[in-house]
Amino acid sequence: MQQRNIAWIGTGVMGQSMAQHLMDAGHKLHVYTRTKLKAAALLNAGATWHDTPASATESCDIVFTMVGFPQDVTEVYFGEHGILSRCKPGMLLVDMTTTKPSLAEQIYTEAKTKGADFVDAPVSGGDVGARGASLSIMIGGDESAVAQLMPLFETLGKNILHQGPSGAGQHTKMVNQITIASTMVGVCEAMLYGVKAGLDLPMVLASISKGAAGCWTLDNLSPRIVDKNYDPGFFINHFIKDLEIALEEAARMDLCLPGLALANQLYRAAKAQGKGELGTHALYLVLEQLSKS
């Protein structure tokens, strides 16, 4: 694979592992993140630090962003020292944050005015998928840009599909998050039921994970609940952001999604209880507390 100069903006729970995979594949990485300490492992491995997204951008021909919230995406692209302020013709910009489809379309349009291509490519798979380079990547954008980026996407994930034009990747991620939301409620309720019934939960999981109930959440997050390990593979605070984007888009399309609305209320309860920085499976703790009320 041809070595590329790549800017990577955002080194959180998933972003750091993803950036490391690109370095391991032989690419030169230029890094910016709001807290430099979070980039320490990448810098120690040979990445170059930059003080602003703009500075990282001007050193590269490809820019990846993996930040937290829509306002963060807006800032790193449109801010005074943002990516678009130093964007060059022929540059490829990729946002892997889960954000609003309309924002992806806005960045796409602005990038085009500068002769650059923008692709929205949100991912699913959490910290496990990021570390194992097994993420599912949902892509929106022009076919020519996606084709150029495909070798890099293949370094980060296993299930990589071009969903359509700009914004289609983000819409697909909303479908993913809507599915996960109700699934997580069901998994946490099932685990709570198993505890109350006095069952051996690892034995229960060995049975049900091989039947019709089998799913990624059951395989990867239920064991963490058993171990009382609520460290984040994906933060509750970030999941609430995703659910509210999905609810906003559903309202715009005149859709009624009561399961999604219920999950959002439960996760807001988790945040109110100070659990926003825990993993999404910490919803179990909220349901456990409700059962004691």
Distance CA 190, CA 188 (A): 5
b vs e for 271-281, b when ≥16 Cβ sit within 10 Å of the residue's Cβ? beeebbebbbb
Distance CA 232, CA 205 (A): 21
Cβ–Cβ under 8 Å, residues 117 and 4: no
Q: Which DSSP category does 250 fall into?
A: H
Distance CA 265, CA 61 (A): 42
Spot the catalytic one: 38, 88, 112, 173.
Answer: 173
At residue 4, what are phi and psi to the nearest 5 degrees?
-120, 150
292 is catalytic: no
Q: Which residue stretches of the chain are H helix? A: 15-24, 40-44, 53-58, 70-78, 101-113, 126-132, 143-156, 168-196, 201-208, 216-220, 222-226, 236-252, 258-272, 283-292
Distance CA 57, CA 50 (A): 9
Active-site annotation, residues: 173
